[in-house]
Amino acid sequence: MGKAISGILTVEQEKELRQPISDYVGALQKQIDHLRRDGTDRVLAIQSELDSLKRDRTIPKEEKRNEMAAARSELEQAKAVEARHKSEVDTLIKQAVTYLNDHFDQDYYQAVKQSCVEEKKAAKLNYQQKVEQLEQEHRQTLTELSDRQERKDVNYVHKNRLFDAKLQWEKDTQQIKERRHAAYAYKYHLIDLLRLSRFTVSETYAQKVENYKYTFNRRDFFLRNGLYIAILIIFIALCIITPILKGSSLLTYNNVLNVLQQASPRLFLALGVAGLILLAGTDLSIGRMVGMGMTTATIIMHRGINTGGVFGHVFDLTGIPVAGRVILALLTCIILSTLFTTIAGFFTAKFKMHPFISTMANMLVIFGLVTYATKGVSFGAIESAIPSMVIPKINGFPTIILWALAAVIIVWFIWNKTTFGKNLYAVGGNPEAAAVSGISVFAVTVGAFILAGILYGFGAWLETLRMVGSGSAAYGQGWEMDAIAACVVGGVSFTGGIGKISGVVVGVFIFTALTYALTILGIDTNLQFVFSGIIILVAVTLDCLKYVQKT
């Protein structure tokens, strides 16, 4: 056995090492199976039978009732047997698991692991020797040739041979990797049989770590995370540079809160457009909807007579209680935003119009209407008491962050736990296949636009509270680019059907934090656009590379 551990194990030697473990645990497993036969196994079988009976609509009600009553009676008997044998079964399982923990690693797995290390070294050495041999043969062949075309042909053949040698090395390496993984997984296969697929937290975590290492691919890792790593390096550099140039630290509690506070309204916008990007679409009207929403909310929540009019009419809504005006402003923002997104969604879904066109039309219409109606006037500030009512700071903590957190949770639930969310991914991935499977592409598309409108309205309302008003048609210009860029950086693919809420959150935070850091450093706003543009270009490039790799 000593020689086996220090060298490369054959298949037979590996089986010999594993046999005592298999025999010992197998003997205990037979005892457990015997004890479970009339107990746990019957319980599972009868429960499955009851589930089938409940779903079966071909059996008459009376007959089904009788069969279910008989099955429940058998189930109670089986549970009684299970309870009677439970203590003995648990003892046997504990004995088997203890044996595995004591012997599996030291008597078997470490030997296989060391063997795989040696096999890898041998495989690499064989590959290097093969390459050296091919190079020598190639040089020898070239010395015997003088014709240019013949030399070119020989070079081509040589490259193919080198490629084949590398392919064989990678194949051998993968087989070694699979052998080690199979050896590691054998322990959990035995525990799976013993405990009927129940694992402890530590066992579950250990398997996840092993599976990650087994499936890890360096190229895929950098395609998925390369941009985040680069941005992290940039942030670290900014954190080092800022104290040197400005004499103050960038990474402080207050700065983090400021970033989160600024990001909160923008997160609503990003969550809205993320659903449209998931459908391989976009929305160019976000910024103008923010301007429209802020103008509307400022008019409603302004104290006293407004400083400007709408189509020549000046409003004074102070007769409505403050809480009523806050709610009215929110509802109006949501209704207006949802109205326009529904129109864009209808044209997109009904006439197969690209969202770029339908939302660009929305952008022009909204900006034109709001500017014409208000003559481009800024409506001043909202009543000063309102922000402290809705988004107060508690011990310096801005509660606007909690609104954003609630939005993240709700949209995550919609995307991941509802039929609409599943249909959203299906339509985004392949609308034709989704339609064939019975999903209404029209309803899903319009639904995504409606959800986006609701989120835009909420975002504009929150931004009004954060900025204490100052609503105008020009406010929000360029915000659509920030929202779309945050989604792209967060991994929501323009190819459709790919994206996570967590990615959107990360994307918004990255862009807000980067803008905040560059502003503190005094970097010109125009140069900040350059940074954003480069990040977007890299993000989309990585996304395209992932897509090309899959196809």
| Percent above pLDDT 70 for the chain | 98
Least confident of 179-193, 299-313, 386-400, 487-501: 299-313
List, in order, residues 6 or more apart from 203 with CB less than 8 Å away.
188, 191
Mean per-residue pLDDT over the chain, rounded: 91
pLDDT of residue 238: 86
Q: Cα 380 from chain centroid?
A: 40
Confidence check: pLDDT of 293 > 50: yes
Residue 168 banded pLDDT, cuts 50, 70, 90? very high
Mean per-residue pLDDT, 301-326: 88
pLDDT of residue 181: 96
Distance (Å, whole) CA 256 – CA 267: 16
Confidence check: pLDDT of 551 > 60: no
Confidence check: pLDDT of 429 > 80: yes
Neighbour tally for 319: CB within 10 Å:
7
Residue 118 banded pLDDT, cuts 50, 70, 90? very high
Distance (Å, whole) CA 185 – CA 179: 10
Tens of pLDDT, residue by residue over 201-226, are 999 999 999 999 999 988 888 877 87
Residue 547 banded pLDDT, cuts 50, 70, 90? low
Confidence check: pLDDT of 3 > 50: no
Residue 5 banded pLDDT, cuts 50, 70, 90? very low
The predicted model scores a pTM of 0.76
- Backbone region of residue 312 per phi and psi (left: phi > 0; alpha: psi in -120 to 50; beta: other values): left
* CATH class of the domain comprising 221-550: mainly alpha
Inter-residue contact 408 to 505 (CB < 8 Å)? yes
More confident residue, 545 or 550: 545
Q: Cα 155 from chain centroid?
A: 46
Distance (Å, whole) CA 427 – CA 439: 8
Q: What is the dihedral of CA 265, 267, 269, 272, to 10 degrees?
A: -140
Residue 380, SS3?
coil
Residue 358 banded pLDDT, cuts 50, 70, 90? very high
Distance (Å, whole) CA 278 – CA 411: 13
Mean per-residue pLDDT, 313-339: 94
Which tokens belong to 123?
Answer: 């495989």
**Widest CA span of the chain, in angstroms?**
101
pLDDT of residue 548: 56
Least confident of 134-148, 263-277, 396-410: 134-148
Least confident of 140-149, 282-291, 362-371: 140-149
Mean per-residue pLDDT, 481-499: 89
pLDDT of residue 304: 82
Q: Which amino acid is at 551?
A: T
List, in order, residues 6 or more apart from 198 with CB less than 8 Å away.
none
Distance (Å, whole) CA 495 – CA 548: 11
Domain-by-domain residue ranges, the chain? 2-216, 221-550
Residue 549 banded pLDDT, cuts 50, 70, 90? low
Percent of the chain as helix, strand, coil, to the nearest 5: 80, 0, 20
Residue 473 banded pLDDT, cuts 50, 70, 90? confident
Q: DSSP class of residue 314?
A: P
More confident residue, 528 or 492: 492
pLDDT of residue 550: 52
Mean per-residue pLDDT, 446-472: 94
Residue 546 banded pLDDT, cuts 50, 70, 90? low
List, in order, residues 6 or more apart from 490 with CB less than 8 Å away.
270, 274, 499, 500, 502, 503, 504, 505, 506, 507, 508, 510
Tally: H helices and E strands in the chain: 20, 2
Query: CA dist 192 to 198, 199, 208, 209, 514, Å?
Result: 7, 7, 15, 17, 47
Inter-residue contact 293 to 457 (CB < 8 Å)? yes
Tokens 């803008």 correspond to: 515
Least confident of 17-26, 55-64, 399-408: 55-64
Which tokens belong to 527?
Answer: 């140069």
